[in-house]
A and B are shown apart, each in its own frame.
Chain A
Amino acid sequence: MIAFLAKRIGIGAITLIVASIVVFAVLEILPGDPALLMLGMNATPEALAAMREQMGLNEPVPVRYLGWIAGLLAGDFGRSFTYSSPVIDLILERVVVSLPLALIALTLSTAIAIPVGIFSAARRGRAGDTVSMGVAQLGVAVPNFWFALLLVYVFAVWLRLLPAGGFPGWGAGVWPGLKALILPAVALALPQAAILARVTRSAMLEVLGEDYIRTARAKGMPRRYVLWRHALRNAMIPVLTIMGLQFSFLLAGTIIIENVFYLPGLGRLVFQAITQRDLIVVEGVVMLLVASVVVVNLIVDILYAVVDPRLRIRA
């Protein structure tokens, strides 16, 4: 188990290093001079040169790369040109919105999808299965911003239960903050739940056809027991894979939903940074996302091994 973990962590570290080189190289190749962007089109050549010197743009590339990495490790992500504040502060400000949002959405989608998938698989071909998979099909097909608008209309405009958008900040208390995240989380969770339910169903169906399910039934175990105690754990591998991918998406792929609800999340931050060529911010957010994907994959790998003893030896 220790060898397994060491190997997984090693792979994660290599992924991070490669990703950092790619991120750095891409931004290096992109046209546009950060110093020029910062000072504006009317900057004098002297001011530009001074700015370059100050930003370290005249150093050779490997030196700048290593400097950047050393900064990252020390928590120094550089300064944003457009916000004129440290990138790390900008990111942290957004993470406290995006991370809870992603966690709530993932929890919701899992809580909906897994029971629905199991229910459908257990009633394969019957009315319950057809209806829930029909709904799931709809959930996959309909874009999440449409759900979002619908939710705003029903819960904010009509019932007036929840805010239609904006984020008061956690300083105003936990409940107002959570209230602001409920609708966006639901809008994000529904399409994800639809996908996850379909994956759960097909994984369960495959497992239910296995010989060991028949063995368990021949032991006298009731159908429901076999479903939850024998089939579910074996069906978890593909479900965990999809959940890992979904979490990574939820962390930063939520730009549309953030816009619909006026949420100051990571998605909007990176979008604005890209449009304004605030490359230091882009670099920082991308590296953070890469790190989170690596961590999530590590967790998923560990969960694989927890679920399936056969994966524990072949690290």
Chain B
Amino acid sequence: MSLLEIEKLTVSIGRTPILKGVDLSIEEGEVLGLVGESGSGKSMTALTVMRLLPHAMRAAGRVTFDGIDILAAPEAAMNRLRGDDIGMVFQEPMTALNPVKTIGEQVAEGIRWHTGASRAEAEETARKILDRVGLPAQKFPLSRFPHELSGGQRQRVVIAIACALKPKLLIADEPTTALDVVLQAQILDLLRDLVDERRMGLLLISHDLAVVADMADRITVMRHGEVMETGETGRTLTEQAHPYTRQLARASTHVPARAGPPAPETGKTPLLEVASVVKDYAGRRASLFARPAPFRAVDDVSFALGEGQSVALVGRSGCGKSTLARMILALDRPTGGAIRLDGIEVNALAEAALKPSRRKMQVVFQDPYGSFDPRHKVERLVAEPLHLMEKQPSAAERRDMVAAALAEVGLAPKDMDKYPHEFSGGQRQRISIARAIITRPKLVVADEPVSALDVSIRAQILDLFADLNGRLGVAYLFITHDLTVARAITDQVMVMHDGRIVERGRTAEVLDNPQSDAAKALVEAAPDLSRALARRLAGRE
């Protein structure tokens, strides 16, 4: 009998079905990859196993874990299972821990509850598991609070909570999606080691085929609440027998067709010139009297970007890339150095004098949900940057301009009278791109513009970026930790580490043959579908 067996599981809210007859099983010591796009029901399947579905949802069918009928078990029995035999790790480590309790309390709490251990005993066990997940006692005493830890460290705490009592099954719902690639590789290694060490079953939920190809023995593909295909990972992903599996695999390795990079025009002033830019932040005060040492977020960065060029700025989280982007967008002033747009030194200008320069540069953010006011219609959202125009357009002109911008990004002009919540994530990102191009900027800074999107949507948005680059000649600065994005859409890449640019060059060259340690670490850690499959197939022979 399998460790976990799900048969004909249906979940619904009222009359709306969420899951429609899902079948799935996991053996002891097996890693099952559950893949699918957002809304496919992956997380709902996981929450059903934990019996932690949102209030209004009803589950039917059969879920058997270790011989226990989960859907029929009383709440008290579920409390005994959760955190003891079944552990769960969530996507967002920044919010998964209680901010007012120490990490020690949060790990020890479950241990005490399940084993009846004394506080001291539970803390000893908590200490051991925190050591095991890579949070040693000297740097991470039990008395630390979550806010004193980084995202990757917090995810380790969540894993420690889930694995403290050696569960038979661990459910990990997008455990690395919020982390940069190097942290992702470390967390995945940790999970794999725990599986091998304890013969634990692992249900690994991910939208990233490359991650799953690397980790999972078997894979289950879901779409719209249904299982499309289940099978051994290497075979399923190489044969791609099911059309949807094929579609997913293609989308995740999609490279937009682009005209070659524009010939570098020598002698002309570059569009954007960053010269020895430095940014210091006030450091944390160590004592009441000593002046805190400043923290240097950006350290002597210089580069130039020509018209129509597409450049990636890659690096791990916290390397200073977003700070640099904020300064380029004149949202923040450098401590030293100069930033020139079309020869004009933007960092020296007052806000009013900045208007013409602001018109030439626009921004696309990562999260299309967070960057819109939900009470404004699309027309108003897209027209926002128009206040930067020298001559304010009339209402009719404004509507025409919005309609043209929407058409440019593949939306219908009539969409301008809708509200943001009426659009899907991909459409919302199109709206934010329409907002960015409405002033006909020469430079668009895009901060992780596709990392919140599903693979197929992401492929479409990348196509859109490529298309606008070709048609409108917009230059891009892509800020990303995702090397596949850099590879797909940029000519040049700059690798940033600890505030400095440590390597730069043509994208393909840098990514195929990295020289600096920072670039090597990024390339090595980046999940890659074809490499993972090659490894898997080689291992089988």
Closest to B97 in A: A212
Q: Given the complex, which residues of A lie within 8 Å of B76, measured CB to CB?
A: 222
From A210, A219, A233, A307, B109 is in contact (CB under 8 Å) with: A219
A59 within 8 A of B: no
* B110 close to A219 (CB less than 8 A): yes
Would you call B84 an interface residue if the criterion is a C-beta within 8 Å of the partner chain's C-beta atoms?
yes
Instruction: Check B147–A310 contact: CB distance below 8 A.
Output: yes
CB within 8 Å for A219 and B98 given contacts A214-B52, A310-B145, A310-B147: no
Is B113 in contact with chain A by the CB < 8 A criterion?
yes
Take A220-B80, A221-B113, A310-B145 as given contacts and tell me if A215 and B98 are in contact as well, using a CB distance cutoff of 8 Å. yes
Kindly identify, within residues 1 to 40 of chain A, every residue whose CB is under 8 Å from any CB belonging to chain B.
2-3
Query: In whole Å, how far is A91's beta carbon from the nearest beta carbon of chain B?
Result: 38
CA distance A211 to B101 in the complex (A): 14
Q: In the complex the two chains form, is A234's CB within 8 Å of B100's CB?
A: yes
- Tell me whether A221 and B288 are in contact (CB under 8 A): no
Q: How many chain B residues have a CB neighbour from A under 8 Å? A: 32
CA distance A86 to B101 in the complex (A): 51
Known: A308-B100, A309-B145. A220 touches B110 (CB 8 A): yes
On whether A220 and B99 interact (CB within 8 A), knowing A3-B288, A214-B90, the answer reads no
B84 close to A233 (CB less than 8 A): no
- A233's nearest neighbour on chain B, judged by CB, is B100
Q: Which of B54-87 contact A (CB under 8 A)?
A: 75-76, 79-84, 87
Shortest Cβ distance from residue A223 to the other chain B in the assembled complex, whole angstroms: 8
**A217-B82, A220-B79, A310-B147 given as contacts; is B52 within 8 A of A212 (CB)?**
no
B14-48 interface code vs A (CB 8 A; 1 in, 0 out): 00000000000000000000000000000000000
- Contact: B97 with A215, CB < 8 Å? yes
Q: Is the CB of B100 within 8 A of A221?
A: no
User: Chain A nearest CB: distance from B372 CB in Å?
Assistant: 21
Chain B's closest residue to A232 (CB) is: B100
Q: Which residue on chain B has the smallest CB distance to residue A309?
A: B145
- Given A216-B98, A218-B162, A220-B114, is A211 in contact with B52 using a C-beta cutoff of 8 Å? no
Q: How far is the CB of B66 from chain A (nearest CB, A)?
A: 15
* Residues B90-120 near A (CB distance < 8 A): 90, 92, 95-101, 106, 109-110, 113-114
Least CB distance from B531 to A in Å reads 33
Query: In the complex, what residues of B have CB within 8 A of residue A221's CB?
Result: 79, 83, 109-110, 113
Q: In the bound complex, what is the Cα–Cα distance between A95 and B80 (angstroms)?
A: 55
A79 within 8 A of B: no
Question: Chain A, 290-309, contact with B by CB distance < 8 Å: what is the 0/1 string?
Answer: 00000000000000000111
Nearest chain B residue, comparing its CB with the CB of A207 = B98
Q: Is the CB of A212 within 8 A of B79?
A: no
Contact of B100 among A215, A216, A220, A309 (CB under 8 A): A309
Point out residues on A near B: beta carbons under 8 Å: 2-3, 210-212, 214-223, 225, 230, 233-234, 307-310
